[in-house]
């Protein structure tokens, strides 16, 4: 048997939603064949089969929420799928099956001990501290039963039993551990397997197992919240995998317990309103929920302000029209406006470093690298992949990089690394016909440039009225770190470089 595990989801991603299974239980599968798609608040991830065999079991249905290293399903290798069927067949006779089950169990679960390893704890998390084990060495555990919680400086990671058997602990509570380090093992045992198929045997062991299963397993962090607030674990609605109570569930129970005198009014605001005729209710995707949350967090955190200017695009358009054919023939990519804007932005960031910085607590982090986020609209929502080291790229390199990121965004194949670490963002509402807008900061960045539609407008030039292709540009910035003078200077610098592209060549 091979478990299908939820992969690491990224530094700030703690859960995912089952999108779609491509196979049904009982279907044959091949190694590395895509079995299920997971949707996170940033990207969609494909999970493949760990081996050849048959999809013996699906543990999470479409739409359910899972966490890193959760067992999504089981693939039986070769003829192993037939093994679970034998105990079920023997369970039909009442007394004889109960007597034969213990003898059959060791054969089904025999083999080497299964290691319990520390899961991946996040991109920048290198170690964690062991919490209190919920079982002792020598105890019998069931598969997927919560064993211990590992606390890091960012999140608490729950570790469940990878198989049923007898537990051996290798890392004590309080010990410092690293990802993939072995912290225990589970040896195959018939005792754990025998308890499950014979709940009606009325033995002392079966009875105690039933009592234990009625009481929810609490991780140390959850136990602390429950104890400090005198909560009843059985009264807490569990939303974690396998019915486990998460710390968020316990905290939510505290808020629900406060207005005990009038529970009905408290529940009224949470209830969705009744749907009206010709309306359709659709659940927000995880990506859309995250977009909404992050944009609102950005507004609530930063002192956002927007300054505007306008750019005469005559020279850039003439330069593009003159060289676009030979450019595409030479470099194999079309010459667009984004490369000119990216070059102008990087030059302006060199001169006004505050716009390329971010606030971290009471510190300002000035970044001496220029990783430009490019907002891309997709069918699932807005994403901002990052063009790395834009200051080292040529116009062709920028166009090639943006084109590849845009294609990956539309295909849904962006990786987490491609979505993290940007220092400044450019968004182009002009592709949809926007004349002017006030873009929202992509936290924790301190600046975002908004491009808009190019419109022929009459302009006064040297005392004459001439028709010129004009674009409004907008810079939204965090006024906590960027002063008005710096913001205006930045935008004027971008305007100058676009209206006279030769300035960039002459470093003026």
Give the tokens for residue 394: 């040529």
Residue 276: phi and psi, rounded to 5, are -95, 165
Residues in Cβ contact with 327 at an 8 Å cutoff, skipping those fewer than 6 apart: 333, 334, 335, 395, 396
Concatenated DSSP letters of 231-263: --GGGSPP-SGGGPPPHHHHHHHHHHHTTTT-H
Report how far Cα 110 is from the mean position of its chain's Cα atoms: 37
Confirm if 445 and 423 have CB atoms less than 8 A apart.
Answer: yes
Supply the DSSP string of 26-72, one letter for each residue: T-EE-TT-EEEEEE-SS-EEEEE-SSSEEEEEE-S-TT-EE-TT-EE
Q: Which of 164, 188, 197 is nearest to 96 (CA)?
A: 197
Q: Among this protein's residues, is 479 annotated catalytic? A: yes
Burial of 467 (0-12, 13-18, 19+ CB in 10 A): exposed
Active-site option among 417, 452, 483, 500: 483
The catalytically annotated residue of 32, 369, 389, 479 is: 479
State the Cα–Cα distance between residues 200 and 395, nearest whole angstrom. 74
- Tokens 């990783």 label which residue? 371
The structure tokens listed for 423 are: 């220092």
Half-sphere exposure (CA, 13 Å, Cβ side) for 200? 7
**Burial call 477-497: b when 16+ CB within 10 Å, e when fewer:** bbeebbeeebbbebbebbbbb
Helix (H, G, I), strand (E, B) or coil at 499: helix
Report d(CA 94, CA 456) in Å as an integer: 87
Residue 331 designated active-site: no
Q: What is the DSSP string of 390-448?
A: GGG--HHHHHHHHHHHHHHHHHT---SGGGS--SEEEEEGGGGT-S---PPP-TT-SEE
Can you tell me which residue has the tokens 């901002």? Answer: 384
Catalytically active residues are: 479, 483
């Amino acid at each position: 048997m091979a478990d299908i595990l939820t992969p690491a989801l990224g530094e700030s991603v703690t859960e995912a939603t089952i999108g779609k299974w491509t196979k049904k239980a009982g279907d044959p599968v091949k190694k590395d064949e895509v079995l299920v798609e997971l949707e996170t608040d940033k990207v969609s991830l494909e999970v493949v089969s760990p081996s050849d065999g048959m999809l013996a079991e699906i543990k999470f249905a479409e739409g359910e929420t899972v966490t890193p290293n959760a067992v999504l399903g089981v693939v039986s290798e070769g003829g192993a799928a037939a093994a679970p069927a034998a105990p079920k067949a023997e369970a039909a006779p009442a007394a004889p099956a109960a007597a034969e089950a213990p003898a059959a169990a060791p054969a089904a679960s025999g083999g080497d001990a299964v290691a319990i390893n520390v899961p991946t704890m996040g991109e920048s998390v290198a170690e964690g501290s062991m919490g209190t084990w919920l079982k002792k060495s020598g105890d019998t555990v069931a598969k997927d039963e919560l064993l211990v919680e590992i606390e890091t400086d960012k999140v608490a990671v729950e570790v469940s039993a990878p198989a049923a058997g007898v537990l051996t602990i290798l890392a004590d509570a309080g010990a410092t551990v690293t990802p993939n380090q072995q912290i225990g093992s589970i040896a195959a045992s018939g005792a754990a397997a025998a308890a499950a198929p014979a709940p009606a045997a009325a033995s002392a062991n079966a009875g105690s197992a039933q009592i234990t299963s009625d009481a929810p397993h609490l991780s140390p962090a959850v136990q602390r919240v429950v104890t400090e607030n005198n909560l009843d674990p059985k009264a807490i609605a569990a939303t974690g995998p396998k019915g486990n109570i998460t710390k968020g569930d316990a905290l939510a129970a505290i808020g629900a317990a406060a207005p005990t005198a009038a529970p009905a009014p408290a529940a009224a605001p949470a209830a969705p309103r009744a749907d009206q005729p010709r309306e359709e209710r659709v659940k927000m995707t995880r990506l859309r929920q995250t977009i909404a949350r992050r944009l609102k967090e950005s507004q609530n955190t930063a002192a956002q302000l927007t300054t505007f200017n306008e750019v005469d695009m005559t020279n850039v358009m003439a330069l593009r029209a003159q060289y676009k054919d030979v450019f595409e023939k030479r470099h194999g990519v079309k010459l667009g406006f984004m490369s000119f804007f990216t070059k102008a932005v990087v030059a302006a960031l060199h001169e006004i470093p505050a716009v390329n910085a971010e606030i971290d607590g009471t510190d300002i982090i000035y970044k001496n690298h220029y990783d430009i986020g490019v907002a891309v609209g997709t069918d699932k929502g807005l994403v901002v992949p990052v063009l790395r080291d834009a200051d080292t790229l040529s116009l062709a390199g920028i166009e090639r990089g943006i084109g590849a990121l845009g294609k990956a965004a539309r295909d849904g194949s962006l990786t987490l690394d491609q979505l993290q670490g940007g220092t400044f963002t450019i968004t182009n509402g002009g592709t949809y016909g926007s004349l002017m807008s006030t873009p929202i900061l992509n936290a924790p960045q301190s600046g975002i440039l908004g491009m808009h539609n190019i419109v022929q407008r009459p302009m006064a030039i040297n005392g004459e009225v001439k028709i010129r292709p004009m674009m409004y540009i907008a810079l939204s910035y965090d006024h906590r770190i960027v002063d008005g003078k710096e913001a205006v200077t930045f935008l004027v610098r971008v305007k100058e470089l676009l209206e006279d592209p030769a300035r960039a060549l002459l470093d003026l």
